[in-house]
Amino acid sequence: MSAIVDRLYSSINGETYSFHQLFEVANEKNKKLIYKNVLSASQELGMIERSDINIDIKFEQDSISGYKIVRNGDYVVHLRSFQGGFAFSDRTGICSPAYTILRPNDLVGYGYLSHFFTSKLFIKSLKLVTYGIRDGRSINVDEWLNMTVTLPNIQEQVRILTIINAIDAKLHIEIKKQSCLFRQKSYLLNTMFI
């Protein structure tokens, strides 16, 4: 999958933009306590409910007024820069104020950059704007916003995303089939010796 993603994004024809031209840094706070669902960054799944990651992180309910609002379609910069450091959000909620929220404009199709931000090509480019050592490395967002990317038109973005999503769905089906076959094999082996 990663080879296909790298290939699709490395052979792009289109306009070159700085990330600053494509994203606005959003600092909208949850001051009115409208949102209660706390989201966390997951490299594989994007932004997910904190309760779904099986880590019990304690926080004061009153402290969520200082949390940042993440909107459906936003990208969130988190600390795992060696894995890309950008998580796509397909839901609205709140997240830690330590995260940086990037809100794309209408030049970027919904979710188009979600796979690009985990590609080897992109992760390699982050070396220019990451600081620190090992897992504690952080991305200098101001410097990153000055970096450039080639972006095709919206129709081509949709086409590329459709291809990647179809392959991803096929992989999930094959993993489920493998799991079912493994359970069937275990059952048959257990009943064979009764």
**What pLDDT tens digit does each residue of the chain (194 aa) get?**
888 888 888 888 899 999 999 999 999 988 877 788 888 887 677 888 876 666 556 556 667 888 999 999 999 988 654 555 788 999 999 988 888 999 999 999 999 999 898 888 888 888 888 776 555 567 888 999 999 999 999 999 999 999 999 998 898 899 999 999 999 998 888 887 66
What is the C-alpha separation between 168 and 72, in angstroms, rounded?
21
What is the C-alpha separation between 35 and 50, in angstroms, rounded?
13
Overall number of domains in the chain: 1
- Classify residue 73: in a domain, yes or no: yes
- Classify residue 161: in a domain, yes or no: no
Query: In angstroms, how far is CA 32 from the centroid of its own chain?
Result: 27
What is the C-alpha separation between 86 and 125, in angstroms, rounded?
13
pTM of the predicted model as reported, rounded to 2 decimal places: 0.79
CATH number at residue 50: 3.90.220.20
Contact 74, 103 (CB under 8 A): yes
Structural domain including 52 reads 17-151
- Classify residue 53: in a domain, yes or no: yes
What is the C-alpha separation between 5 and 121, in angstroms, rounded?
10
- Classify residue 193: in a domain, yes or no: no
- Classify residue 7: in a domain, yes or no: no
What is the C-alpha separation between 56 and 58, in angstroms, rounded?
6
- Classify residue 175: in a domain, yes or no: no
- Classify residue 125: in a domain, yes or no: yes
What is the C-alpha separation between 70 and 49, in angstroms, rounded?
12
Determine the pLDDT at residue 4.
86
- Classify residue 52: in a domain, yes or no: yes
